[in-house]
Structure 1
Amino acid sequence: MSKLKIAIQKSGRLNQDSLQILKDCGISIDNGKDQLKASASNFPLEIFYLRNGDIPQYLKDGVVDIAIIGENVLIEKGEGIAIIEKLGFSKCSVSLAIPNTDKYTGLDYFQNKKIATSYPNTVTNFLKSKNINSQIHIINGSVEIAPNIGLADGICDIVSSGSTLFKNNLKEVEVLLKSEAVLAVSPKISGTLQAILDELQFRIQSVLKGRNSRYVLLNAPNDKLEKIISILPGMRSPTVLPLAEKGWSSVHSVLHKNQFWEVINELKKNGAEGILVCPIEKMVM
């Protein structure tokens, strides 16, 4: 049977998060230490561990069929590669930063200035769209040091917590784009692998829906049941079961995690008691 070839980052946080989502999809990987290639024991999947910056070319050439990769890397190097699923982890931004001591008055700050970056295409396209002319210095490595050694006036790099900028006396001044891990597909993928890809994507979607949702159980007085049900934004409609205590019911529903506190407080105000909130491992729609 043909195997779907997937590339993931060789090391780092994206590597760990990628392996975790595959594990949550029920895929067991026979992975020895320092292996560059491994196979799943219970799913037709072969895993390639690659440098993040090399993955777009492997996708373009059809060496791998799919990849879990940062959206920022695809924007920089992955023209023509389709994204079929945003995965919700490894979120960051690609941003311009300058020394803390400099006063920032807007993008005109960068007019005729030197910018150090590992994302020359992204920076050039962004500045061109804003009619800003800058000199781009390509650096593969610790971009943050460039202003401190006089190599550049500012930098463009990925920003997550901002701690690296802080340590290097820099401040974020412009966000070029927001990024997260995505599932990307080679333009050369074989049609015979589509069924395997569909099954993998279905599993990933079920895991992501579970991660983004919470299962809620609560007790409600019957005379307030209609109002409580109207507050719950659940799936189709909540499950309502009578309790042993007369005049009370148990209500079961699902909430999006971002709606959680707002909805819970509203439920309490309207008489809900004994509210229990549980994580959801997977949710199949």
Structure 2
Amino acid sequence: MSPDRNRLHLAIQKSGRLSEQSRDLLKGAGLKLSQSGKNHLAARAENFPLDLMLVRDDDIPTFVADGVCELGIVGQNVLEEYALGQPERRIEELLRLGFGRCSLRIAGPESADEFALDRLQGQRIATSYPRLLGRFLEQRGIDAEVVTMRGAVELAPRLGIAGYICDLVSTGATLEANGLTALADVFDSEAVLIRTRRPIDGAHAEKADALLTRIEGVIATAESKYIVLNAPEERLAEISAILPGAEAPTVVPLIGRPGHVAVQAVCQESVFWETLERLKAAGASAILVMPIEKMML
């Protein structure tokens, strides 16, 4: 499929958890997505000038760096592994997206209590991320042999290919199923929005900025809550300090209740029951906590 140069292009993972979460993010930004018939390599937004390119995750940095796609959503682990192999960085990281979190970790068939990094000296370590692992080892002065594998890395110790592995870990269930324990953190990752450093014409830059603004709004509302409460005016400073992540709450006098005000605030951090209890103890009453459907920063 040749890209339509009148539209913006965004590369995302073709399938898997990151693909689903990327689509959910775009839907949250108000985009109506449709698959292009039997073409499983592309999708189109019906109400925004955007085409999706559905590709392998490790191809996304190349698509964006070469300017085939102006934007991409990819894991930081994939982006950094790609960047370490490039003489110049042709990709700009715009925004962390808050999903797809995982860690690249060294693991082996021993307990974490018995392990020290110097045990890796002279060992073979299997990984799908040789550059990230190589940098980690070099920074710590460890001389180990990096064995590059493209899949089933967790089987390497059992098959005698390597004594240790370096692989992505989210829940740790795969390691446990193969008799392995996470021993050292190499790189923490989450999904990020990236943009090409190649020149983008003015019209496309405006589209990209508009999409970025929508995505920032979706992320901002994910944990944000709108809080409304009544409070004694003399306790206002104390109550404002309790509100999590709130900036400059709106304060309105209550008619018929001298010395009392209504407080309205957007809290950009999680609001727990403990927070409500602290607000009540500080004199707040009639506390309402409501979700925010949309927010434009």
Q: CA deviation at 1:222?
A: 4.7
Q: Normalising to structure 1: TM-score of the pair?
A: 0.91
CA contact (8 A) 2:223 2:269 kept: yes
CA contact (8 A) 2:111 2:181 kept: no
Closer, same or farther in 2 for the Cα pair 1:16/1:276, shift >3 Å?
same
CA contact (8 A) 1:240 1:251 kept: yes
Closer, same or farther in 2 for the Cα pair 1:267/1:11, shift >3 Å?
same
Within a 5 Å distance, the mapping from 1:110-121 to structure 2 comes to 110-121=120-131
Work out the CA distance in 1 between the residues paired with 2:280 and 2:154. Answer: 49
Could you say what secondary structure the match of 1:275 adopts? strand
Give the residue type in structure 1 aligned to 2:267.
L
Q: CA deviation at 1:7?
A: 0.5
Closer, same or farther in 2 for the Cα pair 1:54/1:279, shift >3 Å?
same
Q: Does 1:4 align with 2:8?
A: yes
Work out the CA distance in 1 between the residues paired with 2:268 and 2:189. Answer: 22
In the alignment, which residue of structure 2 is the partner of 1:215? 226
Work out the CA distance in 2 between the residues paired with 1:27 and 1:103. Answer: 49
Q: Does 1:18 align with 2:17?
A: no
Give the residue type in structure 1 aligned to 2:107.
A
Q: Deviations over 1:26-75 (max 9, x none)?
A: 11112257621121111110101001111122222222221000010000
Q: Deviations over 1:10-30 (max 9, x none)?
A: 011100110011111111112
Q: CA deviation at 1:276?
A: 2.2
Q: 2:283 aligns with which of 264, 271, 274?
A: 271
Closer, same or farther in 2 for the Cα pair 1:11/1:224, shift >3 Å?
same
Q: CA deviation at 1:282?
A: 2.5
Could you say what secondary structure the match of 2:118 adopts? helix
Greater displacement, 73-82 / 93-102: 93-102
In the alignment, which residue of structure 1 is the partner of 2:71? 66
> 5+ unaligned residues in a row in structure 1: which ranges?
none
Q: Normalising to structure 2: TM-score of the pair?
A: 0.88
Give the residue type in structure 1 aligned to 2:222.
R
What's the Cα RMSD here? Answer: 2.2
Identical-residue share of aligned pairs (%)? 39
Q: Does 1:51 align with 2:56?
A: yes
CA contact (8 A) 1:6 1:64 kept: yes
> 5+ unaligned residues in a row in structure 2: which ranges?
none
Q: CA deviation at 1:146?
A: 0.9
Could you say what secondary structure the match of 2:218 adopts? helix
CA contact (8 A) 1:100 1:171 kept: yes
CA contact (8 A) 2:226 2:289 kept: yes
Could you say what secondary structure the match of 1:48 adopts? strand
Could you say what secondary structure the match of 1:125 adopts? helix
Q: CA deviation at 1:105?
A: 3.3
- Report how many aligned residue pairs link the two structures: 285
In the alignment, which residue of structure 1 is the partner of 2:238? 227
Work out the CA distance in 1 between the residues paired with 2:176 and 2:68. Answer: 39
Give the residue type in structure 1 aligned to 2:82.
K
